[in-house]
Amino acid sequence: MNYYKDYEMVIGLEVHVELKTKTKIFCRCKTDFGAEPNTQCCPVCMGMPGTLPVLNGKVVDYAVKAGVALGCDIAPYSKQDRKNYFYPDLPKAYQISQFDLPLCEHGHVDIETENGPKRIGITRIHIEEDAGKLVHDASHGTMIDCNRCGVPLIEIVSEPDIRSAEEANAYLQKLRATIMYTGVSDCKMNEGSLRCDVNLSVRKLGEEKFGTRTEMKNINSFQFIGKAIEYEYKRQVDAIESGEKITQETRRFDADSGKTYTMRSKENANDYRYFPDPDLPAIEISKEKLAELTAEIPTLPDERKKMYTEKYGLTPYDAEMLTNDMYIADYFEKGATLTDYPKLLSNLLLSEIFRLRTDDSEIPITPENLASIAQMSGAQTINSSTGKKLIKEIWQTGADAVSYVRKNGLEQINDRELLSKLAAEEIAANPKSVVDYKNGKTAALKAIVGKVMSRTDGKGNPVIINEVVTELAEK
């Protein structure tokens, strides 16, 4: 029995983002990724007794920028609190974070879903310090690397507005893009500079009351987040359907098995015994400072998206795909000014180029060159399949598209008489297809169209070929 359709998932995400400051949040140690263990730490970040933290002003500036970009209200007054817990990678046995007065509140992220646009609320963004890293080694046991202790983080807590793995993915993509545009973090999931905790509960459709939620910590890829959500949703629904109770707990997602496992029962806020850090003064942000930081934020994905739909006629979904990566957005804008067919350019980027580009590396085709392929396609100089082949070829060689087409005679064949003649020959050679077509099998002509196209070496005008084949078959 399929009882899953009677339930919905309720998801809130907590995203930790490492800020790209040169030094740590409370000391002058460097924050470079991948340095030799314990070469970037000092008594302050190692939590030695008697040391005093001094807040890095850049951390506040960066957090404010992220907050403004995500539509938050910025608190003119906020403070830092100690969150107490014993964990081996946290030498101080407490983390300096923010409890009741966070720096940013009430923001949002707008996403595209299959049912149209949707707004996901952001409850708060606060600043805090990262913990160290435990390194497990068969011969030496477990060791600690303190390089990451005190690396500045912002934690972005969403409202429980997310209802599917797809929405979670769209939210994270947009959040990541928005933060990257501001330049305060590189948001590299593979280096841990963006990490995501998923809070998930289920409830019967139409119910108001939230179910008991579980938390899945530190999932480090978009793909795994989707898998963890799907698995945990089914696990909770199965449990409820068989009369079990869901316990509030932290669970670990295992990428190999695709399952989640109990780690520990979830702490409540009062287990952390938060109190204001007595070593740090309050954070005050003046109106002037806020205006100054706001002025430094570049044009954000949502504004560019709006421009693409209005100026270039792209769908909101396509515009979102292009703007989610600033490099791609810049690339598209450069090319779009050079062709009369920006929508075709967008299609080539989202299909052919996205397929060929498997990582974050630069596209080996210049925007000018891709724009000229869009131009030739739009102006019917080449057909769309030649356009695709051309992209594959130029990806390897970097050749100029226009001269390549000329040199290799790839121009589209629009000669109706010639195409008609080829069509007549193919129809004569395939009488059965014509009979099938006349008996109502409209797809039967496709084979003939394909044969005519291959006799033009794929250069025929597909619209004209279709027309002449249909005309002749109907005679």
Pick the stretch among 21-29, 48-56, 105-113, 136-144 that binds Zn ion (CB under 5 A).
21-29
- Complete DSSP assignment for 125-179: EEEEE---EEEEETTTEEEEEGGGTT-EEEEEEE-S-B-SHHHHHHHHHHHHHHH
131 binds Zn ion (CB under 5 A): no
CB-wise, 89 or 467, nearer to Zn ion?
89
Among 457, 458, 461, 433, CA closest to 445: 433
CA angle 325, 329, 330 (to 5 degrees): 120
CB-wise, 44 or 219, nearer to Zn ion?
44
47 binds Zn ion (CB under 5 A): no
For the CB of residue 80, give the shortest distance to Zn ion in the complex, in Å: 17
For the CB of residue 239, give the shortest distance to Zn ion in the complex, in Å: 45
For the CB of residue 40, give the shortest distance to Zn ion in the complex, in Å: 7
Which of 10, 45, 131, 240 touches Zn ion by CB under 5 A?
A: 45
For the CB of residue 94, give the shortest distance to Zn ion in the complex, in Å: 16
Sequence-distant (6+) residues with CB within 8 A of 471 are none
For the CB of residue 188, give the shortest distance to Zn ion in the complex, in Å: 22
Which of 29, 319, 345, 391 touches Zn ion by CB under 5 A?
A: 29
Sign of the Cα torsion 41, 47, 49, 51 reads: positive
Pick the stretch among 22-30, 116-124, 207-215, 437-445 that binds Zn ion (CB under 5 A).
22-30
Count of positions on this chain that bind Zn ion (CB under 5 A): 5
Partner residues linked to 201 by β-bridges: 10
For the CB of residue 19, give the shortest distance to Zn ion in the complex, in Å: 15
Which of 42, 280, 338, 402 touches Zn ion by CB under 5 A?
A: 42
Per the CB < 8 A criterion, the answer to whether 353 and 370 are in contact is: yes
CB-wise, 50 or 409, nearer to Zn ion?
50
Residue keyed to tokens 């000018």: 368
Per the CB < 8 A criterion, the answer to whether 59 and 89 are in contact is: no
Per the CB < 8 A criterion, the answer to whether 424 and 431 are in contact is: no
Pick the stretch among 7-15, 24-32, 403-411, 412-420 that binds Zn ion (CB under 5 A).
24-32
CB-wise, 44 or 125, nearer to Zn ion?
44
30 binds Zn ion (CB under 5 A): no
96 binds Zn ion (CB under 5 A): no
Phi and psi at residue 413, in whole multiples of 5°? Answer: -95, 115
38 binds Zn ion (CB under 5 A): no
For the CB of residue 56, give the shortest distance to Zn ion in the complex, in Å: 11
Phi and psi at residue 119, in whole multiples of 5°? Answer: -105, 125
Per the CB < 8 A criterion, the answer to whether 120 and 159 are in contact is: yes
Dig out the tokens for 188 from the structure: 């590299």
CB-wise, 132 or 301, nearer to Zn ion?
132
Interface residue list for Zn ion (CB under 5 A): 27, 29, 42, 44-45
